[in-house]
Amino acid sequence: MTTLYEREAQSISRLAHLRFYPLAVRGGAGTNLITDDGRELLDFAASWGAASLGHSDPRIRAAVDRALSNQAGASYLSSANAATVELAEKLLSLVPNRAAGRIWFGHSGSDANETVARIAVAATGRPRIISFSGAYHGGTTGSAAISGHPSQVTPRAPSLTLVPYPNTFAVGKEAAQASLAELDRLFAGPVPPQDVAAFFIEPIQSDGGMLVPPPGFFKEIEQRCRKHGILLVSDEVKVGLGRTGRLHAFSHHGIEPDIVVFGKGLGGGLPISAIAGPVSVMNFAPAFSFQTLHGNPVCAAAALAVLEAIRIDRLVENAAMTGAHLFSRLESLKQRHSLIGDVRGQGLAIGLELVTDRVTKKPAKREAAMAVYRAFQTGLVLFYVGVNSNVLELTPPLTLTREEADRGVELLDVALTDVEQGRVDPSLAGAFAGW
Ligand SMILES: *Cc1c(COP(=O)(O)O)cnc(C)c1O
């Protein structure tokens, strides 16, 4: 019998594949996925955080069904529709004043960040963009051009400057100061700040390795942006909308970005992204950045259901509380597994950096690939991230319960033990490219 995974290989291109093991899914409910061969897996990846309410959430289903029962077109390009207007009003009420001008809707974090980069340059008349080494702002040409993730093959924009993201685990306490010193050096010479349109930040650099910057760092970045009239852009695509235990990830740092970008979890599994920003930028010109299905009322209805569920079910609080519980369980796991060099994160955005040696902190890249593979075999879905491909990423649905958190830790415990005791065949994981 041919499996779903094997059939896929004969029909679907590999270009979009970011695979860690042969996962083939037939369905899902809540935090569980049902595989092709009928296994139930606990999903600690939530499709990179996109399944913010888990799978088959009844509120999203009802909202989508209502939107399709009386379909107000399929786009907002050439007509207004109630779902996108209502969603825009809602988002404007949630973002800080500086960003509460107008909302733009797209399909993905990539098209949103690409639009921000284009509009920032056009609206300010300044040519340059700054972001961080290791940053992932998207996979389209325009969004990859302003990213700094080493997995990407797309060339960077010539107008892009990358600044080191503070990595306190690798560099130590002086990481933030070193990064700011490098920025100041650039401003004093090769990158005149009055030429910089926008500074893109990730409040947690998730794909770069779940790096949480030290307190005060982004305040320093914000001060420099204000001083030089640079638009501060917070990319909240993966860790925003409740995941960190606050509604906005940037709010942990006491900063107020000019532009906020949402994606992934906003649609709870349907494709929708949003930019919130000042009127002067967001109303710069009509017909400036659009794709036909942007402002689709069905996706907007799903997003409204997600925001409502976050409010009613107090999912921001759940992310904080269940996240803290999960974090402490992982910290105790660290005591028993020398592979775990660091546990870090906020709320339900947690990373486990695997190292071959806690003193040298050498990245345990092969072991990370084997660990996620073994976790899949034992019943847990999670992936790895990081510029060295050695950070296990935990971004479960915001609805995660304490019991599910405990079960996930137990499964991970087994997987790490098996890797440490040489019970995982390295060639299994080796067959998957990951990233
Ligand atoms: C995933 C991601 C993006 C890109 O979003 P897509 O939906 O894949 O286009 C942008 N920024 C961050 C921080 C992300 O994690």
Digit-coded pLDDT (tens) for 334-369: 999 999 999 999 999 999 999 999 999 999 999 999
Spatial CA neighbour of 412 closest among 322, 346, 341, 340:
340
Integer Cα distance of 313 and 53 in angstroms = 10
373 in catalytic set: no
The residue whose CA is least distant from atom 10 of ligand 1 is: 137
Is pLDDT at 1 greater than 80 in this prediction?
no
Structure confidence at residue 435 (pLDDT):
87
Of 105, 165, 202, 237, the residue with max ligand 1 atoms within 8 A of its CB, to mutate for a pocket test, comes to: 237
Is pLDDT at 73 greater than 80 in this prediction?
yes
The residue whose CA is least distant from atom 11 of ligand 1 is: 137
Quick one: how far is CA 168 from the chain centroid? 20
Once rounded to an integer, what is the mean pLDDT over residues 224-239?
98
Structure confidence at residue 433 (pLDDT):
78
pLDDT digits (tens, 9 = 90+) for 266-280: 999 999 999 999 999
Per-domain boundaries in the chain: 4-56+314-430, 61-312
Integer Cα distance of 433 and 435 in angstroms = 6
**pTM reported for the whole predicted model:** 0.98
Where does the pLDDT of residue 429 fall: very low under 50, low under 70, confident under 90, or very high at 90 and above? confident
138 C-alpha to ligand 1 centroid (Å): 5
In the block, tokens 């919130």 appear at 276
For the record, the structure tokens of 421 come out as: 């005791």
Give the 3-state DSSP-derived string for 121-165, with helices as H, strands as E and coil as C: HHHHCCCEEEEECCCCCCCCHHHHCCCCCCCCCCCCCCCEEEECC
CB-count burial class (<10 Å; 0-12, 13-18, 19+) for 33: buried
423 C-alpha to ligand 1 centroid (Å): 35
The residue whose CA is least distant from atom 6 of ligand 1 is: 109
What's phi and psi for 102, nearest 5 deg? -140, 160
Structure confidence at residue 275 (pLDDT):
99
In the block, tokens 């041919």 appear at 2
For the record, the structure tokens of 220 come out as: 């320093």
In the block, tokens 């970008």 appear at 261
Integer Cα distance of 156 and 136 in angstroms = 12
Q: Which of 5, 21, 76, 136 is catalytic?
A: 136
Q: Which of 34-48, 53-67, 80-94, 151-165 has the lowest mean pLDDT?
A: 151-165
Integer Cα distance of 409 and 415 in angstroms = 10
Neighbouring C-alpha atoms within 13 Å toward the C-beta of 55: 17
For the record, the structure tokens of 9 come out as: 């290989």
Q: DSSP per residue over 258-313, as a string?
A: SEEEE-GGGGBTB--EEEEE-HHHHTS-TTSS--TTTT-HHHHHHHHHHHHHHHHT
Assigned superfamily of 4-56+314-430:
Aspartate Aminotransferase, domain 1 (3.90.1150.10)
What's phi and psi for 292, nearest 5 deg? -50, -45
Structure confidence at residue 374 (pLDDT):
98
For the record, the structure tokens of 257 come out as: 């970005």
What's phi and psi for 105, nearest 5 deg? -115, 140
Integer Cα distance of 375 and 418 in angstroms = 10
Which atom of ligand 1 is found nearest the CA of 139?
A: 9
Q: Is 412 left (phi over 0), alpha (psi -120 to 50) or beta?
A: alpha
Of 48, 105, 132, 136, the residue with max ligand 1 atoms within 8 A of its CB, to mutate for a pocket test, comes to: 136
Where does the pLDDT of residue 169 fall: very low under 50, low under 70, confident under 90, or very high at 90 and above? very high
- Number of residues that this document lists for the chain: 435
Of 48, 108, 210, 294, the residue with max ligand 1 atoms within 8 A of its CB, to mutate for a pocket test, comes to: 108
Ligand 1 lining (C-beta closer than 6 Å)? 108-110, 113, 136-139, 202, 206-207, 235, 237-238, 263-264
Give the helix/strand (H/E) hosting 168: helix 168-171
pLDDT digits (tens, 9 = 90+) for 172-187: 999 999 999 999 999 9
CB 356 within 8 A of CB 338: no
The one-character DSSP state at 268 is B
Structure confidence at residue 154 (pLDDT):
84
Once rounded to an integer, what is the mean pLDDT over residues 277-287?
97
Spatial CA neighbour of 107 closest among 309, 302, 243, 296:
296
Is pLDDT at 388 greater than 90 in this prediction?
yes
Q: Is 59 left (phi over 0), alpha (psi -120 to 50) or beta?
A: alpha
Q: What is the CATH code of the structural domain delimited by 61-312?
A: 3.40.640.10
The chain-wide mean pLDDT, for the chain, equals: 97
Spatial CA neighbour of 94 closest among 257, 218, 299:
257
Give the helix/strand (H/E) hosting 377: helix 365-378
Which atom of ligand 1 is found nearest the CA of 271?
A: 7
The residue whose CA is least distant from atom 15 of ligand 1 is: 238
264 C-alpha to ligand 1 centroid (Å): 7
191 C-alpha to ligand 1 centroid (Å): 26
CB 231 within 8 A of CB 120: yes
Which atom of ligand 1 is found nearest the CA of 264?
A: 7
The one-character DSSP state at 203 is S
